[in-house]
């Protein structure tokens, strides 16, 4: 009893363990960030900082400090010097993670440094296995406060020493037999620092809460939160990078002001001009642009929507309103899910085999519209079905009670109520197919140059012609090949235009990527915004 | 539920309703069937039949709207099945020629060169190996990170943060694959090429990593649905016993959602297998020789998808047909994964309904 009260008092006055472990977590986090900066060479690792200290030394020192602090807190907690609530063991999960690490490190040391290897001479494997098993036992056998800190701390210490002493450093290279890659110190040190910093942060987080269930929760939450933050970061970096590289090309020659833009109708001009979007490719252009690709994408999307939306909504209505759950709906469901997961390149092959020979044996806009429509169909069916199912049965009952027949109920009660969800689903689906490259590569754009001239802008509306013989209506524009934004980007890449188009006459792939990204993400932003708007209204 | 009637009931009702509609429906159905058949046999008359169908549908809509709406909804329901059937039939039809020439060596040939159209040698093992390697790497990335992301959104994050992260992950799914591929090609390829002193630009390792990032959103959103559908009562029971949130997640929520989470990972694998453009742009697309040794993930071979996308253009007849065989292999794998994940999901739904 006296021991417990002593501990309670102790905790109030000397928060030694939380302070030290918070320091370890913070230092690990800094190491983590710094390692990424060095890895994607924003910082050069061998830069001389103050007094001849390089980033190598910084990494080594940080790992050393974390290691010492962790071993110290583990020992302090075990001897009862600082209060903690550890479980009996660090657990099998921790043991397996560290055991695998021990296996890898021992294996690399024995096979690469000592030169005992040969895939068939199992020497290194046995040593690695013994090393891994030893680490596993060292982690699982002692009480949690020792098991979850000392092995990690020792590893951090070891790594810190190796880097500080320059064993792995500036001039170090490693060419593992069997891999085509050569690892240099520039690469290896930050990678080691990444792994070590994640481990020390994990152990530090556990120690911060005094181990036990709460400690393990903090350790796990740290990883889960870091993972979520990294996903957001990746999204941000991707978009920011493409804007940074593409925006100058998109804005080349752009102007804002009354009458500067291209004519829309009746002598009215748009109040802005972005030649990269409104021009085609031509020798006499000041700025060459991607207009044919923009129009190609627009018409592809329009065609796909015209085909898929009525079909998909009709199917969803039948599945939810007319038919009972049974064998037939099950078959339809399996087919719909199957279509949803069919790879886009397979749709392309299908279009090549089925549609292209029937539309004059050449790539055509119409074939692309149909194929993209088929790809959009399952998305429309699934989302429409969900939103029709979400319409409460009381709506239908109320309508039926008024003597309205089933079709009238569907048309004037069910479908309007399901409209928001349906529209959202369609918008998100359109965003997806607008960026699809593989199918149109095969059925619509195969012959197009990466620099299409203005005659390749599809003019679908004026293309209809009526004839006296079957098929009576023809549209040469629909039966012609067309470019599209994703294809244009692909063509620029394969044409080897490279990542840094210099002169104004070139079409910059980064700018093309930016225009494509703007188109696609606009669909997504509108779709997501409308969904959350309608959901909020539903909750009110 | 009372007003929802089965197919046969509705049909009986309609037939009893009016013989005029029966005639219109017969004309419509026959003309649509004729349109389809004529289109398949490549006849110009298909459009005539289509016009007849449109006329019949318009007449029906004007004078027998309720019945016509029902009939049209039946037809639209069939479209999905028909399209899937057509894909199946035409893939196999086009693949037949390669099977006649090369036989099973298409899938079994492992002697070098495995794939050399100029010598008339068509074997897909190198591409299959590439697909397996990239898919394994992608799954190692998308599986754990995706499940962790789903846990974050549904269990850990405050509601406001979750509502911010969820659309962001959908946006991540929205970025076109060719854009991912372009960044991989222009930035990451070069980076790895110089930093690791590789022999080739492009590597299965990088392709797998990029594909993993692309499959991640699929895993997150499907796994999140599964985790959210675990009944609150199960979790509160665990919390009431004094377990921490994390213990509850590990001990109750994840095991209860296990089927749904594995379905999510399987769907992610399906996405990774079928991903085309990123692999095409990043890899060198040579399918003649295996990496040496076989586990060298820094080799720049091809995947099934990238082989199709990079070679269909200048492919002669047999080669094109062999590419269709690659398509068949892809289609079969993905259909299998899709069926398995649906079975698992159905089982999970039944279990949770039984439990609650």
Give the per-residue pLDDT at A120. Answer: 53
Break chain A into its structural domains and give their ranges. 2-90+142-223, 251-280, 289-539
Inspect the interface and report whether the beta carbons of B73 and A489 lie closer than 8 Å. Answer: no
> 192-221 in B: which are within 8 Å (CB) of A?
192, 195-200, 203, 213, 216
Which of A325-329, B5-9, B42-46, B269-273 shows the lowest per-residue confidence on average (mean pLDDT)? B5-9
Give the per-residue pLDDT at A163. Answer: 87
* A332 in B contact zone (CB under 8 Å): yes
* B160 in A contact zone (CB under 8 Å): no
Give the per-residue pLDDT at A499. Answer: 42
Inspect the interface and report whether the beta carbons of B178 and A489 lie closer than 8 Å. Answer: yes
**DSSP string over A89-105:** S--HHHHHHHHHHHHHH
> Residue with structure tokens 């409209």?
A419
Give the per-residue pLDDT at B29. Answer: 87
Pairing state between β A272-273 and A263-265: unpaired
Q: Which residue in the set A181, A217, A435 is minimally distant from B245, CB to CB?
A: A217
* B177 in A contact zone (CB under 8 Å): yes
Q: Token pair for residue B20?
A: 């005029």
Can you tell me the ipTM of this complex?
Answer: 0.89
Inspect the interface and report whether the beta carbons of A513 and B182 lie closer than 8 Å. Answer: yes
CA distances from A105 to A151, B184, B229 (A): 13, 30, 42
- Per CATH, the homologous superfamily of domain A289-539 is MetI-like (1.10.3720.10)
Percent with pLDDT over 70 in chain A? 91
Give the per-residue pLDDT at A364. Answer: 87
Report whether pLDDT(A65) > 70. Answer: yes
Report whether pLDDT(A7) > 50. Answer: no
Q: Which residue in the set B10, B80, B90 is minimally distant from A315, CB to CB?
A: B80
For residue B318, give the 3-state DSSP assignment. helix
**DSSP string over B259-316:** HHHHHHHHHHHHHHHH--HHHHHHS----SS--SSTT-TT-----HHHHHHHHSTT--
Give the per-residue pLDDT at A119. Answer: 55
Give the mean pLDDT of chain A: 83
| d(C-alpha B340, C-alpha B325), whole Å | 23
Q: Token pair for residue A63?
A: 């790992």
Report whether pLDDT(A26) > 90. Answer: yes
Residue of A nearest to B71 (CA): A318
Give the per-residue pLDDT at B355. Answer: 55
Contacts of A121 (CB under 8 A, 6+ apart): none
Predicted confidence (pLDDT) per residue in A350-362, tens digit: 999 998 888 878 8
* B309 in A contact zone (CB under 8 Å): yes
**DSSP string over A456-508:** GS---GGGEEE-SSTT-EEETTTTS----HHHHHHHHHHTT--S---STTSPP
Mean pLDDT within B28-32: 88
Q: Which residue in the set A227, A232, A509 is minimally distant from B168, CB to CB?
A: A232
> 356-415 in A: which are within 8 Å (CB) of B?
357-358, 374, 377-378, 381, 393, 396-397, 400, 405-411
Contacts A182 to B, Cβ<8 Å: 196-197
| d(C-alpha A171, C-alpha A121), whole Å | 30
Greater pLDDT, B9 or B280? B280
* A535 in B contact zone (CB under 8 Å): no
Burial A9-39 (b: 16+ CB within 10 A, else e): eebeeeebbbebbeebbebbbebbebbbebb
Mean pLDDT within A426-454: 84
Report whether pLDDT(A538) > 80. Answer: no
* A517 in B contact zone (CB under 8 Å): yes
What structural domains does chain B harbor?
A: 7-101 (no CATH), 115-355 (1.10.3720.10)
Give the per-residue pLDDT at A77. Answer: 87
Gyration radius from chain A CA atoms: 32
CA distances from A178 to A119, A181, A340, B251 (A): 10, 9, 39, 41
Q: Which residue in the set A241, A469, A486 is minimally distant from B176, CB to CB?
A: A486
Mean pLDDT within A135-142: 90
């Amino acid at each position: 009893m006296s021991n417990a009260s002593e501990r309670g008092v102790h905790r109030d006055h000397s928060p030694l363990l939380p302070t030290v472990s918070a320091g370890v977590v913070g230092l690990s986090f800094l190491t983590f960030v710094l390692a990424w900066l060095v890895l994607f060479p924003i910082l050069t690792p061998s830069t001389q900082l103050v007094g001849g200290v390089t980033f190598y030394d910084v990494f080594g020192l940080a790992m050393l400090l974390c290691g010492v602090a962790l071993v110290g807190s583990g020992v302090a907690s075990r001897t009862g010097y600082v209060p903690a609530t550890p479980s009996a063991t660090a657990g099998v999960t921790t043991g397996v993670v560290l055991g695998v690490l021990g296996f890898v490190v021992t294996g690399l040391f024995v096979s690469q440094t000592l030169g005992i290897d040969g895939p068939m001479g199992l020497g290194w494997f046995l040593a690695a296995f013994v090393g891994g098993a030893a680490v596993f036992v060292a982690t699982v056998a002692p009480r949690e406060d020792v098991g979850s800190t000392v092995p990690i701390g020792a590893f951090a210490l070891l790594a810190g020493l190796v880097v500080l002493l320059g064993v792995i450093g500036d001039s170090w290279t490693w060419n593992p037999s069997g891999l085509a890659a050569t690892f240099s110190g520039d690469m290896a040190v930050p990678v080691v620092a990444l792994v070590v910093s994640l481990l020390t942060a994990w152990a530090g987080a556990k120690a911060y809460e005094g181990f036990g269930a709460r400690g393990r929760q903090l350790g796990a939450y740290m990883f889960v939160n870091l993972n979520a933050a990294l996903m957001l970061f990746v999204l941000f970096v991707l978009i920011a990078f493409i804007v940074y590289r593409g925006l100058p090309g998109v804005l080349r020659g752009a102007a804002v002001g009354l009458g500067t833009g291209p004519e829309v109708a009746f002598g009215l001009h748009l109040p802005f001009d972005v030649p990269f979007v409104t021009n085609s490719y031509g020798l006499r252009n000041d700025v060459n642009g991607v207009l044919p690709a923009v129009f190609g994408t627009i018409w592809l999307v329009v065609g796909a929507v015209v085909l898929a939306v009525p079909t998909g909504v009709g199917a969803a209505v039948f599945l939810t309103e007319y038919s009972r759950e049974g064998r037939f709906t099950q078959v339809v469901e399996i087919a719909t899910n199957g279509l949803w997961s069919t790879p886009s390149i397979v749709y392309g092959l299908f279009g090549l085999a089925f549609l292209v020979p029937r539309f004059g044996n050449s790539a055509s806009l119409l074939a692309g519209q149909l194929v993209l429509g088929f790809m959009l169909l399952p998305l429309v069916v699934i989302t429409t079905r969900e939103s029709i199912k979400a319409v409460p049965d009381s709506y239908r009952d109320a309508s039926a009670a008024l003597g309205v027949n089933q079709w009238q109920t569907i048309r004037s009660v069910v479908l309007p109520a399901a409209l928001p969800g349906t529209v959202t689903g369609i918008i998100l689906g359109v965003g997806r197919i607008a960026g699809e490259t593989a199918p149109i590569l095969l059925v619509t754009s195969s012959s197009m140059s990466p620099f299409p001239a203005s005659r390749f802008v599809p003019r679908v509306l004026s293309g209809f012609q009526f004839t006296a013989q079957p098929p009576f209506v023809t549209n040469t524009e629909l039966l012609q090949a067309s470019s599209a934004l994703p294809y244009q980007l692909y063509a620029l890449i394969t044409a080897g235009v490279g990542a840094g188009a210099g002169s104004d006459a070139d079409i910059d792939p980064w700018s093309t990527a930016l225009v494509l990204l703007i188109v696609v993400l606009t669909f997504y932003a509108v779709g997501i915004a409308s969904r959350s708007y309608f959901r909020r209204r539903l909750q009110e | 539920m009372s007003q929802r009637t089965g197919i046969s009931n509705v049909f009986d009702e309609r037939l009893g309703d009016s013989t005029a509609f029966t005639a219109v429906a017969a004309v419509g159905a026959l003309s649509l069937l004729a349109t389809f058949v004529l289109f398949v046999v490549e006849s110009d008359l298909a459009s005539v039949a289509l016009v007849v169908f449109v006329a019949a549908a318009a007449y029906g809509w004007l004078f027998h709207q309720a019945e016509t709406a029902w009939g049209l909804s039946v037809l639209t329901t069939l479209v999905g099945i028909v399209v899937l059937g057509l894909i199946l039939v035409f893939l196999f039809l086009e693949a037949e020629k390669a099977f006649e020439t090369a036989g099973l060596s298409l899938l079994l040939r492992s002697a070098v060169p495995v794939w050399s159209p100029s010598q008339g040698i068509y074997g897909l093992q190198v591409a299959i190996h590439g697909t397996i390697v990239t898919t394994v790497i992608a799954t190692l990335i998308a599986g754990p990170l995706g499940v962790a992301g789903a846990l974050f959104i549904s269990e850990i994050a405050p509601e406001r943060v979750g509502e911010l992260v969820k659309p962001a992950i959908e946006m991540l799914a929205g970025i076109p694959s060719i854009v991912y591929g372009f960044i991989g090609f222009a930035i990451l390829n070069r980076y790895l090429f110089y930093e690791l002193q590789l022999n080739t630009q492009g590597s299965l390792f990088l392709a797998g990593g990029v594909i993993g990032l692309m499959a991640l959103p699929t895993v997150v959103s499907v796994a999140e649905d599964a985790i959210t559908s675990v009944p609150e009562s199960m979790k509160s029971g665990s919390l009431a016993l004094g377990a921490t949130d994390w213990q509850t997640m590990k001990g109750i929520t994840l095991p209860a959602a296990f089927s749904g989470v594995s379905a999510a990972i399987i769907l992610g694998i399906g996405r990774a297998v079928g991903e085309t453009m990123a692999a095409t742009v990043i890899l060198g697309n040579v399918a003649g020789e295996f990496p040496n040794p076989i586990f060298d993930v820094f080799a720049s071979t091809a995947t099934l998808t990238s082989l199709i996308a990079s070679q269909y253009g200048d492919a002669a007849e047999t080669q094109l047909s062999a590419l269709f065989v690659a398509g068949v292999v892809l289609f079969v794998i993905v259909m299998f994964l899709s069926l398995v994940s649906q079975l698992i999901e159905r089982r999970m739904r039944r279990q949770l309904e039984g439990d609650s």
